[in-house]
Structure 1
Amino acid sequence: MNTHNTDLAQELERGKTGLIHDPREGDTSKITLVKAKGSLVWDDKGREYLDCTSQAWSNSLGANDDRVVEAAIAQLRDITHARPNFNTIPLLQLTARLQKLSPGDLNRIGYCLHGSLAVEMALKLAFKNRPGAQNVIVMQDSYHGRSLVTMAASWPHPTNPFAALQPRCFTRVPHPDSYRPRMGMDLETETQLCLSLLEDTITKGVDGSVAALIIEPILGNGGHIMVGKSYLQGLREICTKHGIILIFDEIQSCFGRTGAMFAADYYDVVPDIMTFGKGISGGFPLAGIMASDRLEGFASGEDALTFGQFPVSMAAAVATIDAIIADDLCGKARALGDYATQRLHEMSDRRKLIGDIRGPGLFVSIELVKDRTTKAPSPRAAAEVYRRGVEKGVLFGESRYAGLGNLIKVKPPLDCSHAQMAHALDVLDEVLGSIEADGIA
């Protein structure tokens, strides 16, 4: 190794010791990525991996899509930054694109750079339009981010050192779960029970009025749970009845991941506000909200971020949206997702660790259980699937927070090839077999 390479290696090792975020418990070999293309990534040791995480589901297109990269480079040559007092061409182009795609009357668009702030923007707009309201209703298994506000809106954290800093306006309500229904109910019966409990909470369970109800149409980090169309329709009716702002948090489900452009389209239920992020901009940071024309917007100074209108991300987003439409990636996500879930159902005949299989589209996951009768979660098996998958060159997604996760996610970019998906599922089958052979549950 020459002197330059030696110095670089030493610098990288020194850099690892300076990171304030602790590594995952037990993980002594966190991968350092140096290159990405399509559904593949490479580490600093030259090893290639099939990325079934889409880098936190942010690559709707495969990584470093040429159209996105060229759009970003072209924008870099023109202007890289403009404060929110000014418009830019990509800002106006992107807004026009989103207006054409938005469900219903969600034609007012706001921007920021990550999902947590998009959720906060949505909540701010809801409170502005519900003066005097004091409460927000969230789901028991919801996940809305890791800012102070959005952590408070998410499922309970086992040890939370930030509670003193967080708002107390959030009330959690139960939601239907087809895999673990209450008292053995069928999904529709449990749906009606949960809707009844929600209305009781609105009228009897909180002090003061409710500004908003926020829900992920498919509960992401809380288990990839599909609450069902009738439940979302019921939420829409209840929120309309009580004048409550209905917010869909689509940070994870937007821009083709479900096989539709938005989960709101998939379910045919239109909220009052919808957050978006992750898959919008080909890996560049961007998020925001779409709001109903009926809502009053922000006044000057109520919502402004220095880098909230990053022109490079917006140019990348325009290119990403155009490519999703031109390549029919919604259709491809449906087809590849159908193939994946079919393979997983076949796999479950052999692999008893698989308790449930979830979709839709490329929102694909399996829940691992110690026993199919008790449905006791197996986070240990999930951790082993991730570890052994890495050894075999496939990066599977895993719910990691606080060791609670027993979910394995198979969510590559929407333009992942059939052969690549088949390989990922072959590896998953092999890994599950080895874990069961080792008696791990």
Structure 2
Amino acid sequence: MNHLNSLADLEVPAAPVAQQPAAEKITLVKARGSLVWDDAGREYIDCTAQAWSNNLGANDPRVVEAAVAQLREMTHIRPNFESIPHKNLVAKLREISVGSLNRTGFALHGSLAGEMAMKLAFKNRPHAQNLVVLQDGYHGRSLATLGASWPHPNNPFLAIQPRFTRVPHPYPYRARMGMDPEAESQLCLGLLEDTIVKGVDGPVAAVMMEPIQGNGGHIEFPRSYYKGVREICDRHGVLLIFDEVQTGFGRMGTMWAAQYYDVTPDIIVFGKGVGGGFPLAGILADDRLKWFDEGEEALTFGHFPVSLAAACATIDAIRDDKLCEKAKDSGEYVTERLLEMQTRRKLIGDVRCPGLMASIELVTDRVTKAPARHASQEVYRRGVELGVLFGESRYAGLGNLIKVKPPLDIERPLLARALDVLDEVLGAIEEEGK
């Protein structure tokens, strides 16, 4: 279990830390729990969990020890062979899986796991020629998954990318034509079904979606949408893929978002939080699906035993430390704080907090809901000055979200301090804008 590393963690700095130059990246050299340090010795509360990967706090001794023990035995095992870490992890994933999603495949990052899910979908729908994704979905940056993700400005790879059909999705805060969120959910379900039936040439292999859209806006849909997508897929013989790279392993207050929304997909893509800081991703697939034949899915380092051993220790720690329950409790605390903050900070247009997957959408005007992109960049910059790393949405300044997604075992005083800093910098930005 992680603990505060110094009493100074709770002290407000006597003077602001010197601002980092705009073009300079922070050089991190050390991490413990929810804290990281840079090469100048400055300490930060990490509300990004290093790209939402450290669901279990950074450098947990149990994970490190498991990895080191495996390093002493064998660092590389070709996937043609079985290994003890692989057997153990497959068994643990079956214990925490949903429904009959008991078939597993591994890769070293989420993009390749996403591609594995796509390949399995097409293998099980041999006459299908299409894969449907959501407009603001994000599934990675490999050649295939980049094409499946929300449109990238000035994308130089279009000529060699596979084509995906993007469909609209609900966006409760910005519902179309001022519609009620539930009405918009039904509209988007109708558009999805129309696309499957007559919007593409040939059958659809799968609908691939994030339960909560991470990089594309941190958007949660009405519950009716999740169940509606499942029903449409069943009706038309289309597989449903949940990309849970960001939502899996306790982030939602449940082990999987599929449990949170009570919808079981045919394939789950996982990654990030599974490895306890070591690179690992993969898929969980329904038992009824035909698996890959020899040579169709094999990666030289796909069964990297050090990561597999680290993942076993990570899953044990998530369960032993009851991190799903802690994420739920901390998420409720964050939600309460942010909603109260919203009553005083006009920049906050919307608060989104299922589990410890919290974010606020910043606007320049609550009536027009014009995105406050510059203010979002300022929140991040000033947060750094005050010793807190907040998450941002999208890239290249396109987003207007601030994310608070620290490790699930963050201690309450550190979480409170991070929210105090957020409140402080929002107030300063608003005051300067008067």
TM bucket (normalised to shorter chain) is: over 0.9
Aligned-partner Cα distance in 1 for 2:147–2:57: 33
Query: SS of the counterpart of 1:98?
Result: helix
Match of 2:242 in 1: 248
Task: Identify the match of residue 308 of structure 1 among 299, 302, 313.
Answer: 302
Deviations 1:104-155 (A, max 9, x none): 0100000000000010000000000001211011001100000111111011
1:50 corresponds to 2:45: yes
Match of 1:299 in 2: 293
Deviations 1:317-359 (A, max 9, x none): 0000000001100000000010011001111111100000002
Match of 1:346 in 2: 340
Aligned-partner Cα distance in 1 for 2:345–2:368: 16
Query: SS of the counterpart of 1:283?
Result: coil
Match of 1:34 in 2: 29
Query: SS of the counterpart of 1:355?
Result: strand
Task: Identify the match of residue 427 of structure 2 among 426, 433, 438.
Answer: 433
Task: Identify the match of residue 110 of structure 2 among 109, 112, 115.
Answer: 115
Query: SS of the counterpart of 1:289?
Result: strand
Displacement of 1:400 in angstroms is: 4.0
Query: SS of the counterpart of 1:49?
Result: strand
Deviations 1:9-43 (A, max 9, x none): xxxxxxxxxxxxxxxxx832211111000000000
Aligned-partner Cα distance in 2 for 1:396–1:222: 16
Deviations 1:376-407 (A, max 9, x none): 11110110000000000000001141321100
Query: SS of the counterpart of 2:174?
Result: coil
Match of 2:283 in 1: 289
Unmatched segments (≥5 aa) in structure 2: 1-20
Aligned-partner Cα distance in 2 for 1:30–1:158: 23
CA contact (8 A) 2:331 2:353 kept: yes
Aligned-partner Cα distance in 2 for 1:103–1:343: 32
Aligned-partner Cα distance in 1 for 2:209–2:394: 21
Aligned-partner Cα distance in 2 for 1:295–1:40: 42
Query: SS of the counterpart of 2:364?
Result: strand
Match of 1:336 in 2: 330
CA contact (8 A) 1:158 1:402 kept: no
Query: SS of the counterpart of 1:402?
Result: coil
Residues 147-166 of structure 1 aligned to structure 2 (within 5 Å): 147-166=142-161
Match of 1:13 in 2: none
Task: Identify the match of residue 62 of structure 1 among 57, 61, 75.
Answer: 57
Deviations 1:245-274 (A, max 9, x none): 100000000000010000001011000001
Q: Which amino acid aligns with 2:341?
A: M
Query: SS of the counterpart of 1:107?
Result: strand
Aligned-partner Cα distance in 2 for 1:27–1:254: 33
Aligned-partner Cα distance in 2 for 1:139–1:437: 38
Residues paired across the two proteins, number: 414
Task: Identify the match of residue 405 of structure 1 among 382, 391, 399.
Answer: 399
Q: Which amino acid aligns with 2:56?
A: L
Deviations 1:50-98 (A, max 9, x none): 0000000000111000100110011101111001101110100000000
Match of 1:199 in 2: 193
Task: Identify the match of residue 379 of structure 1 among 373, 383, 389.
Answer: 373
Match of 1:272 in 2: 266
Match of 2:132 in 1: 137
Q: Which amino acid aligns with 1:244?
A: V
Displacement of 1:230 in angstroms is: 1.2
Could you list the structure 1 runs, at least 4 aligned residues long, displaced by more than 3 angstroms after superposition. Answer: none
1:127 corresponds to 2:122: yes
Task: Identify the match of residue 367 of structure 1 among 353, 361, 364.
Answer: 361
CA contact (8 A) 1:38 1:413 kept: yes
CA contact (8 A) 2:216 2:394 kept: no
Match of 2:9 in 1: none
Aligned-partner Cα distance in 1 for 2:102–2:316: 18
Match of 2:352 in 1: 358
Displacement of 1:165 in angstroms is: 1.4
1:218 corresponds to 2:212: yes
Match of 1:179 in 2: 173
Aligned-partner Cα distance in 1 for 2:34–2:303: 28
Aligned-partner Cα distance in 2 for 1:217–1:255: 13
Query: SS of the counterpart of 2:390?
Result: strand
Match of 2:382 in 1: 388
Aligned-partner Cα distance in 2 for 1:242–1:359: 33
Task: Identify the match of residue 253 of structure 2 among 246, 259, 280.
Answer: 259
Deviations 1:176-202 (A, max 9, x none): 111011122212211111111111111
Task: Identify the match of residue 80 of structure 2 among 71, 85, 97.
Answer: 85
Aligned-partner Cα distance in 2 for 1:205–1:27: 45
CA contact (8 A) 2:52 2:272 kept: yes
Q: Which amino acid aligns with 1:250?
A: E
Aligned-partner Cα distance in 2 for 1:38–1:220: 23
Q: Which amino acid aligns with 2:141?
A: R
Relative distance call for 1:70 and 1:359 in structure 2 (3 A) is same
Q: Which amino acid aligns with 2:260?
A: Y
Q: Which amino acid aligns with 2:160?
A: L
CA contact (8 A) 2:334 2:353 kept: no
Query: SS of the counterpart of 2:208?
Result: strand
Q: Which amino acid aligns with 2:393?
A: S
